[in-house]
Amino acid sequence: MHLKGKSAIVTGASSGIGAEFSKALTEKGCRVYGLARREERLEDLRSRLGDLFVPVVMDVNDYESVEEWVGKTFSGEHVPDILLNNAGLGLFGAVDQLPPEDWDLMVQTNLTSIFRLTRLVTPLMKDSDGVNHIVNIASVAGLIGNPNISGYNATKFAVRGFSESLMKELRNFRIKVTCIYPGSIATEFFEDHGGTHPNMLKGEDVANTLIHILETPDNFLIDEITVRPLIPKPPDK
């Protein structure tokens, strides 16, 4: 896909890799509708990225508002070429210590909101002439289970299954589906989980990988990709 002149929806655009994806896409000339709850972060991004970045203050779990926004923003004449399902959070803890509300919030945000937005956008994509692309951000936690992150693991494993099913369902409608499995990236995600360290992936590098995936020729699909730091932590730590 040639990104210049295209439109993308990016959820979780206000920080971390969502902000980096938005920067990389607008630099390519793609209009980005950046969804998140923190208005000041989105406005700050707009001031840095310019008018190709359109802040959309939205809780992805507020399905009525999401549906209303999609309905009034897009139509057969204005189809989002790219849907980047990135918003997410990790609430960790031993299974007997994990509050059910934390489990529910992760399932809602990391999984159900992806389904809800995807089901609104796919009819528009199916009816459009060009090739469209849905990208879901899972995690290596969608491939490997580990202690004390059972809820997060469960949601990210589910994103993998959802993505693989969609990939096979939507390919004949000329809609590409890609699931990305990143290892540790230095973002605010780790503020509550021991902080970042120098060997983590950089968001801008993950964003460059996304651009490569989007810019592949129409009949070339990267459906899954895992990206990790070469050496996850300094060996002496």
Binding site for ligand NAP (CB under 6 A): 11-18, 35-38, 41, 59-61, 86-90, 109, 137, 139, 182, 184-185, 187-189
Count CB neighbours of 131 within 10 A.
17
Tell me how far, at minimum, the Cβ of 120 lies from ligand NAP, in Å.
Answer: 15
Tell me how far, at minimum, the Cβ of 136 lies from ligand NAP, in Å.
Answer: 9
Sign of the CA dihedral with 187 first, then 23, 140, and 143 last: positive
Q: Is 219 exposed, middle or buried (0-12, 13-18, 19+ CB in 10 A)?
A: exposed
Which residue lies nearer to ligand NAP by CB, 7 or 14?
14
Tell me how far, at minimum, the Cβ of 191 lies from ligand NAP, in Å.
Answer: 8
Task: Match 């970045």 to its residue by tokens.
Answer: 53
Q: Which helix (H) or strand (E) holds 158?
A: helix 150-170
Which residue lies nearer to ligand NAP by CB, 174 or 197?
197
Tell me how far, at minimum, the Cβ of 236 lies from ligand NAP, in Å.
Answer: 21
Q: Which residue from 216, 209, 223 is spatially nearest to 170, judged by alpha carbons? A: 223
Contact 201, 186 (CB under 8 A): yes
Which residue lies nearer to ligand NAP by CB, 111 or 128?
111
Q: Which residue from 225, 131, 219, 220 is spatially nearest to 178, judged by alpha carbons? A: 225
Tell me how far, at minimum, the Cβ of 116 lies from ligand NAP, in Å.
Answer: 12
Determine the residue with CB nearest ligand NAP: 16
Residue 110 DSSP code: I
Distance CA 55, CA 165 (A): 31
Which of these is catalytic: 33, 63, 152, 181? Answer: 152
Check if 63 is active-site: no
Catalytic machinery residues = 152
